[in-house]
Each structure stands twice: as structure tokens, then as C-alpha cells.
Structure 1
């Protein structure tokens, strides 16, 4: 028996009842593969942010830990000193669904489904450059008349939207074996190419993946002051007479608020605020380098204020693309408080797919395979379709609903779910 195993055998044993008592802001234990870790102090140093650790305190975080960490040996070096015990043998069990899912993960690993295609990612990055160069060529050759301006804007919108999907690949460590290189390219695309922030994206996005559609744990559904989502919060707020908006009309004003304004207005305030608050001046520098780059590219054609207007016009159009695509997989699904579900059940309750096609795959950056992506966040997106039949079989075996729908139906369901939530709020408000 190796030293590591001997050490584990000597660890104190804890029941789930004891472990769940360590789930406060200053006292956090979690379980990974049957070993109990005290992450109370280390949580503040966690690269993914303190909140994601806090959201798993007192729980079995095995599947989340496995999903988010590509280099597990390296991560274990940080975890090993934090071991405080292990689960009691009678408490250390796997439900049938957990066993089958972990077996499925081992199967897809053996099938090399986590191995990226260099050609695929080279092409996805190459298209970003091509679309931007086409926009410059349009201005240079045809001038800045209405038609050339609109055509060039469409090319720029496409470049920015596709860059959004590309940064998502690197943010999930799906491209390189080295986390360092994934992070470097992530910063290059998101900060320099898109004018956003890698650290800000990581902070928000991994919370979303860890606890999708869970109230107070998923930042992507914190829309309370403008929109009510799901069925739980609208009723709660309605009964308490809370809210600043006519939520029963939210399916109407949605068109004029979230799709057109999220990127050009809200994100342009939230991201710099986040970087200033966290004193991440290095990323702030790279973020504002984007604007210097844009000015250098388009000043010769439209001048300073013309570049300013062009930027906001492109962001306005891109915001529609971004909002409809990112919300179609989640807003129509279950939005509720923490229920302590296992990894698979939790992810399937909060996500749905959009039917595969060449256009849907390209348009959404393969986010139409949202179920597979949430089950295996670090899997290269070109392999998600290959594991889809296996995920469907797992769901069928355990009686879990696997939802997939046409693209336009998915868009329609966003509005329909907002209408339903608004009506629930109004009904509870008038009780």
C-alpha cells in the first residue's frame, strides 16, 4: 500500500450529517471521491472564485471537480494538504445514476472525446480574422455608404459573435493540454479581440455551470429587478408584493431591454467595475487595448466618432445574437432553489438542446448541444454530437427527460416562459 493510501486509512471518518454542518461562509468542507477537505481558507485562493467553492460546501463535489479540472494530478497537490477525513464506509455509496454517469465519463475518455482537433480550432479562429478583414476591405473598396456600412457591420457582428463562442472553448480549457496556454489565448480573444474580460467571464460562467438555474447560486438568472424567471421566485415575490416592474408584461418589454442592451450597455459597465473592484489592472489594460485596436482599424474610414458609433452599432446587433442563443437553453427550463440533486439530474433539469444542423451548430457555437456541454464542460465542442447518443441512453435508462427542440421553437419558448412566469407573479400579487 502506498503512503497516500496509508494516510487516507488513518483519516477520521465523518457522516454526511457531520459534513453538512460545515457549510457556512467561514467553515466549508466538501467531499471529493470519498475524501473530506476543509477548504474554508483556501476558497479565497481558488482560481474559479470563492463563491463556486461556497456553493458546494457540505456536499459531494466529485462530479463538479472532475468536470472542471483537466489536470487532476496538479490540482490534487493543492487539495492534499486540506484533507481532514473521509466518509464513513456506510455513507460512502454511489447511487445507480452516479455509477452509470461516472462509467460513461470513463467511456468517453477512453474514446478520446476530450482530445481536441487542432484543425477545427484553427479554422474557428481563422474565421474571426477573415470576417474582420472583410469588413475593412468593404470600407476600403466601397467606401462608407449605407449599403457598404451595413455589410461591413454584419461581417463585424459575425466576427464578434463567433469570437464569443471561441473564447468559450479556451475558457473551458478545451483546446490545449496546458491550462496556461488556454488562459493566455482566452485573454487574447476575450480581452483584446472582444473588449471584455477573461477573469470576469470565469467568475460568472463557472458558477453558472456548477449550479445552473439555481436561485442565488447561478448569476445568469439574477434578473429579479427586470425579469422574473421560473415558477418559484415569481410566486414568492408576488405574495410579498415585491418588484419594480410590471412582470406580467415582461414577455413584451423583453424585446426592448435584454437583447438590444445587454452587451452595449450593461456589460460595458459591469466588466470594468468588476476589474476595478478586483484590482485586475492588467486585464483592464488588455480590455481597453481592444478599443485602441478598433480605432486604429476604422479611424481612417469613419473617424473617431464614427468608430465610436460603429462599435455600439455592432454591439447592439451582436447583443441580439448573444441573448437569444445563450438564453434558449436555460430560461425555459426549471429555475428553482437548491434541491441537493446529483450532478446529472441537476444539469438536465436546467438545460435543453436545440436540434443539430450545420447552421445551428455554427450559429450557436455548438451551444445547441447544451446538455452534453453541461455534463462534460471541458469536452471540445466538435465531439459533443458524438457523445449525444450515449447521453440520451443514460437519460432513457434512468427516466430523465432529454429535451431537444428546433431553433425557432427554442427562441419562442424564451418568450413563452417569461409570459408564464409573469402571470404567476401577477396571480400571487393579487391574492
Structure 2
């Protein structure tokens, strides 16, 4: 339906003909699984067929069906000129002149101020990476791996040295996890293809995981953080109930897969110990095999070929398997506490269609800066800045933080920052609060 009483035929998807003039009401009708439109910079695109070919995964782009995706588009794509050639054939029209640029609960003043801030940060070079930083980071990962093997090779495989070896390997794995995160977000090289290539090497050969699995999971999280049914990080498959909304819904429906009022206790048994050794490993294998992603599978197998060639002569087959599982066990604790302290205690709710700044700030918080906190968390103690600017190199987050906070203060948006200890304890306390809400609803509503 065209604006101003005009009715025009939309161009067919892939035709490149932009014939239509549309209202938001018309755009929002196209948000089903097989019929999806979205808006970027006031241009309307039909992504129904193309979503399945989207490099970031079909879900992440489908989350914005029927919505204005301009802010997400800007945040995820460092080279927007290159991406435009994929969008152009999908354009079917534009918004009517009488229509606002934003839809839903999005604040135009916040969007404009955030756009200005991003432009200023780009001009100041905060989106340019420092090669030396990443070379040193990769170097200390490789050094830890080499020292761990040299130690047990030359001085023996006693329990003490084996435990020390496992701790060093777990540290190397955790730090490699933060490094692959940088390449996955295209924040190191100017060319996306180089980021993708090195990402496959780091996550595949250094960590034994799959780039495609990580991309599809992690970009969904960034696109709609803490949004139930859209963010996979809060999809706990009925094991945990999170936030203040989901527990009440479960309670009213009398859903009791587990005693959720005790989830803050069984979290220590089911969360940190099992996520990487069991859940992630199974997910990675399933994704690679089901999608026939043989390139990722080769990188994945190269990690285990390297690991077992180093440790089979020292520990034998079963000893080597036990060693890598113990390394994964240690790494899993590190990963879970770091990643959950920024999100789990924050607002978790259904889709509210907020502007980018408001949505990200409601779902994220920061941890105090220190040399240890930066290293320990891979600079994800600046989770707010990372979520607002996912392609920004992490060594520049602290340079943007004060400006982001000033913008939040201007618009009355809470900007939360905690100590490392408080961030971790808030995970447990938030699980207890959610569990109590579930129990109250389960018993009394």
C-alpha cells in the first residue's frame, strides 16, 4: 500500500526494482517465517528468500522482520558499501514521506544522538585495530600451550605437573576464546574475508570448535540480547527460569521441569561444569555434520590431531582424553562466570522493540576496569560498549566508555557498573530471585 493514496506494485525479490511506497503498517504485516520485510535507512527490503543465505544466519536477520533494522545493520557491518550490493537487489520500495524513520518504541532523539556519537568515534579512529595488541595476545596463547607441553615432556607427568599443565592449557583456551571473539566480530582486519579466515583458524585449530556454530549463536545474542525466544543465551530449555517475567509465566502454567526455587544451587552442578565439555561440544558436532560444513570440520579435527599427537605419547589415549576433558571443565567455569555476569542479572523479557541504545543497556552491565579484569574477561568487562559497537577493537572500549555513559545520563538510561565479585554473586542472587518468583506463582496463581 503506497503513501499519499498511491498504490504501486512492489518489485519482485531479486529484481532490483524499487516501485513501492509503504507505511509502517504495511511493513509490519510481513514478519512471518516465510514472508519477511525490513527497513534500512528508510528503504524497504523483501528478505523472505535471501534470509537463508545471510552470512550471519537466517535467524539474526529475521529477528528484525517488520522492523527498522538500520541500527543493527550499522552495528554489525563494518563495510556497509560492500554489503549494499547484497541489499540492492532485495529493495522493493521505501517508506512514505509521511512515515517516521522509526517504528515501535524507538526514541528518535536517542537514535540521532547515538548516531552522532558513533560518527565521532569513527572519526577519532576508535574502530581501527592495533596489530601489535593482537599479535601479543596470540603470542601469549601459543606460549602457554608450548610451555605446558614442554613442562610435562621434560619433567614428567606427575599429578602436580599434570594439574599445572591443565591450568595452563585452560588459560590458553579461555584466552583463545576471547581472541576468536574479536575475529568473529570483524574487529581486527579492515577486510572481512581476513577476519573470517583467521577466525576459522583460531576457533577451529586453536580451540576445537566451529566458526559457523559460533556465528549463528552469538550474532543472535547480539541482535536481541536477553529477549526471550530470540536470544539463545537465555533459552535454557526449561533447566532455568530467568528474569522476572519467565518465572511467573512458568509458574502460572504450572510448568515444573525442575525445582526452580533451587536453581541457584543446582546451577553450580549444571552450569559451569557442563557447558563447554558437554553442551557446546555436542552442539558444535551437530551443527557441522547436519549442515555439512566440512571446512569447519577440518579445522576442528586439526585441533584434536595436534593435541593428541602431543599428549598421546605422554598419557596414552585415555589419559589424553581425561586431560582435555579436565581442561574443558576448567575453561567452562571461567567462560560461564565471565559471560553471565554481564547479562543474567539484567532485564530479561519478551520483545519490546526498543532503540539500539536502550535495548542493549537494559540487557548489559559493565565490570570495573583493571589490568587483571581486562585480561581475565577479554575486555568483556566493557560489555556495554562491546554490545553497542560490536565491530570496535576491544582495546578501545575504555576510550568510548565515558562518552557512552554521558549519553546514557542525558537520556536517563541506567548505565550499570559493578566490581568483579559483585558481578559474579549477582548471577546466583538473580537465579534465586527468579526461582522464588516461580515458586510463588506456581503455588498461589
Q: TM-score, normalised by structure 2?
A: 0.94
Tell me if 1:34 matches 2:42.
yes
Paired residue for 1:43? 51
Tell me if 1:82 matches 2:95.
no
Once residues 370 and 173 of structure 2 are traced to their aligned partners in structure 1, the CA distance between those partners, rounded to angstroms, is 22
Paired residue for 1:3? none
Superposed counterparts of 1:267-346, under 5 Å: 267-346=280-359
Match 1:71 to one of 69, 79, 86 = 79
Once residues 182 and 254 of structure 1 are traced to their aligned partners in structure 2, the CA distance between those partners, rounded to angstroms, is 35
Once residues 264 and 25 of structure 1 are traced to their aligned partners in structure 2, the CA distance between those partners, rounded to angstroms, is 33
Report how far residue 11 of structure 1 moved. 4.3
What is the CA deviation profile of residues 353-409 of structure 1, one whole-angstrom value per residue up to 9, with x for unaligned ones?
001110000000000000000000000000000000110011000000000000000
Report how far residue 311 of structure 1 moved. 0.2
Paired residue for 1:115? 128
The gaps in structure 2 that reach 5 residues or longer are 1-15, 103-107
What is the CA deviation profile of residues 313-369 of structure 1, one whole-angstrom value per residue up to 9, with x for unaligned ones?
100011000000010000000000001111110000000000111000000000000
Task: Report if the CA contact (8 A) 2:18-2:94 is conserved.
Answer: no
Report how far residue 274 of structure 1 moved. 1.2
Report how far residue 108 of structure 1 moved. 0.4
Once residues 310 and 317 of structure 1 are traced to their aligned partners in structure 2, the CA distance between those partners, rounded to angstroms, is 11
Paired residue for 2:113? 100
Match 1:199 to one of 194, 198, 212 = 212
C-alpha spacing 1:111/1:384, structure 2 compared with 1 (3 Å): same
What is the CA deviation profile of residues 29-59 of structure 1, one whole-angstrom value per residue up to 9, with x for unaligned ones?
1110111111111111100111111110010
C-alpha spacing 1:9/1:390, structure 2 compared with 1 (3 Å): farther
Report how far residue 9 of structure 1 moved. 12
Report how far residue 90 of structure 1 moved. 2.3
SS where residue 334 of structure 1 aligns?
coil
Report how far residue 10 of structure 1 moved. 7.2
Superposed counterparts of 1:188-267, under 5 Å: 188-267=201-280
Once residues 12 and 224 of structure 1 are traced to their aligned partners in structure 2, the CA distance between those partners, rounded to angstroms, is 42
Structure 1 stretch displaced more, 248-257 or 271-280: 271-280
Question: Aligned residues, how many?
Answer: 425
Once residues 59 and 9 of structure 1 are traced to their aligned partners in structure 2, the CA distance between those partners, rounded to angstroms, is 21
Tell me if 1:162 matches 2:175.
yes
Once residues 101 and 161 of structure 2 are traced to their aligned partners in structure 1, the CA distance between those partners, rounded to angstroms, is 64
Give the root-mean-square deviation of aligned CA atoms.
1.4
Task: Report if the CA contact (8 A) 2:17-2:89 is conserved.
Answer: no
Once residues 239 and 168 of structure 2 are traced to their aligned partners in structure 1, the CA distance between those partners, rounded to angstroms, is 32
Paired residue for 1:24? 32
Tell me if 1:58 matches 2:66.
yes
Once residues 207 and 25 of structure 1 are traced to their aligned partners in structure 2, the CA distance between those partners, rounded to angstroms, is 16
Paired residue for 2:3? none
SS where residue 78 of structure 2 aligns?
coil
SS where residue 76 of structure 1 aligns?
helix
Report how far residue 224 of structure 1 moved. 3.6
Q: TM-score, normalised by structure 1?
A: 0.97
Task: Report if the CA contact (8 A) 2:342-2:423 is conserved.
Answer: yes
Once residues 222 and 9 of structure 1 are traced to their aligned partners in structure 2, the CA distance between those partners, rounded to angstroms, is 39
Report how far residue 299 of structure 1 moved. 1.6
Task: Report if the CA contact (8 A) 2:18-2:92 is conserved.
Answer: no
C-alpha spacing 1:108/1:279, structure 2 compared with 1 (3 Å): same
Paired residue for 2:419? 406
What is the CA deviation profile of residues 67-110 of structure 1, one whole-angstrom value per residue up to 9, with x for unaligned ones?
11111111100101111111122223461000000001100000
Once residues 375 and 10 of structure 1 are traced to their aligned partners in structure 2, the CA distance between those partners, rounded to angstroms, is 31
C-alpha spacing 1:281/1:215, structure 2 compared with 1 (3 Å): same
Structure 1 stretch displaced more, 297-306 or 129-138: 297-306
Once residues 166 and 110 of structure 1 are traced to their aligned partners in structure 2, the CA distance between those partners, rounded to angstroms, is 25
Structure 1 stretch displaced more, 117-126 or 275-284: 275-284
Report how far residue 131 of structure 1 moved. 0.4
C-alpha spacing 1:426/1:224, structure 2 compared with 1 (3 Å): farther
Structure 1 stretch displaced more, 234-243 or 375-384: 234-243
